[in-house]
């Protein structure tokens, strides 16, 4: 696909639009301590960001039982919500780029590992409750990297998968795009290294969010 052929841009939230990775890692560590589980290192925690929370916890702690999982999720939520009293900031260039994408006629969507309640809270904090054409959260569809989330988004927007572009900072984002037959863009400033992300053959890797608009503006 040429950059000018895309009609729909789909964004992950944490680590792609919002600078929230540090808070997620901290909340996971706190929940581990309060639940009596051995701490996992920062690298391991960053490696599960993008999954739905239950899937993320089970990846870190495969032997956790259902009751322990419920308690762990609550400890995580308690700490993370408290830390988000001042919302995680959007990365530099996000607001301006979004306005430019909208002006250029793109449909815009969010596909996140967050739960719906958490996503609605951060959208409201940035005045974006009604900004996107559609948003999908992990607790109302299948967790990444299953493609259902993207399939629902393209169906809602009435575009084909090859006309959409998934932008994310984790392997789960890029795997999900591949599973949906969709191109992807990797960002280097989020949860996972650009070297790890390039294994999934994104059509573009960017170090700053504003680079995406520059690339899409190329009418080759």
CA-CA-CA-CA torsion for 183, 168, 148, 89, nearest 10 degrees?
-140
Give the largest CA-CA distance in the chain. 56
Structure confidence by residue, pLDDT tens digits, 167-201: 999 999 999 999 999 999 999 999 999 999 999 99
Strand ranges (E), 47-171: 107-111, 134-136, 164-168
Give backbone dihedrals phi and psi of 82, rounded to 5 degrees, phi first: -65, -40
Instruction: Check whether residue 131 and residue 35 sit in a common domain.
Output: no
Q: How confident is the model at residue 220 (pLDDT cuts 50, 70, 90)?
A: very low
Residue after which a domain boundary falls, among 83, 102, 127: 83
If you average pLDDT over residues 112-129, what whole number do you get? 93
Span 131-138, mean pLDDT? 96
Q: Is the pLDDT of residue 155 over 60?
A: yes
Span 195-212, average pLDDT:
96
Is the CA virtual torsion 159, 162, 164, 170 positive or negative?
A: positive
CA angle, 177 then 209 then 12, to 5°: 35
Task: Look up 207 and say whether it is catalytic.
Answer: no
Q: Residue 47's domain is classified under what CATH number?
A: 1.10.150
Alpha-carbon span 15 to 194, nearest angstrom:
13
> Choosing from 5, 12, 169, 173, which is the catalytic residue?
12
Structural domain count, the chain: 2
Q: What is the pLDDT of residue 40?
A: 96
pTM for the complete prediction? Answer: 0.91
Query: Do residues 132 and 207 share a domain?
Result: yes
Marked catalytic residue, from 14, 169, 173, 183? 14
pLDDT at 218: 83
35 and 143 housed in the same domain: no
Q: Do 61 and 140 belong together in one domain?
A: no
Note if 133 is an active site residue.
no
DSSP state of 64: -
The three-state secondary structure class of 174 is helix
Q: What is the pLDDT of residues 20-30, one digit of tens each?
A: 999 999 999 99
Host domain of residue 65: 21-83
Same domain? For 29 and 13 the reply is no
pLDDT at 2 over 90: no
């Amino acid at each position: 696909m040429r950059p000018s052929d895309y009609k729909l841009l789909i964004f992950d939230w944490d680590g792609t639009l919002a600078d929230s990775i540090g808070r997620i890692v901290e909340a996971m560590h706190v929940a581990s301590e309060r639940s009596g589980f051995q701490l996992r290192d920062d690298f391991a925690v960053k490696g599960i960001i993008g999954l739905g929370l239950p899937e993320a916890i089970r990846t870190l702690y495969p032997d956790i039982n259902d009751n322990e999982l419920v308690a762990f999720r609550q400890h995580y939520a308690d700490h993370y919500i408290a830390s988000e009293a001042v919302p995680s900031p959007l990365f530099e260039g996000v607001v301006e780029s979004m306005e430019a994408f909208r002006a250029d006629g793109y449909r815009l969507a969010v596909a996140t590992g967050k739960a719906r309640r958490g996503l609605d809270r951060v959208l409201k904090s940035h005045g974006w409750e009604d900004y996107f054409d559609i948003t999908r959260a992990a607790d109302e569809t299948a967790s990444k990297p299953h493609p259902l989330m993207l399939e629902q988004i393209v169906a809602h927007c009435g575009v084909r998968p090859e006309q959409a572009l998934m932008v994310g900072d984790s392997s789960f984002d890029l795997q999900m795009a591949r599973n949906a037959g969709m191109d992807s863009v990797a960002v280097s400033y989020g949860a996972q290294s650009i070297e790890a992300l390039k294994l999934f053959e994104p059509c573009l890797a960017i170090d700053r969010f504003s680079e995406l608009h520059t690339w899409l503006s190329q009418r080759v």
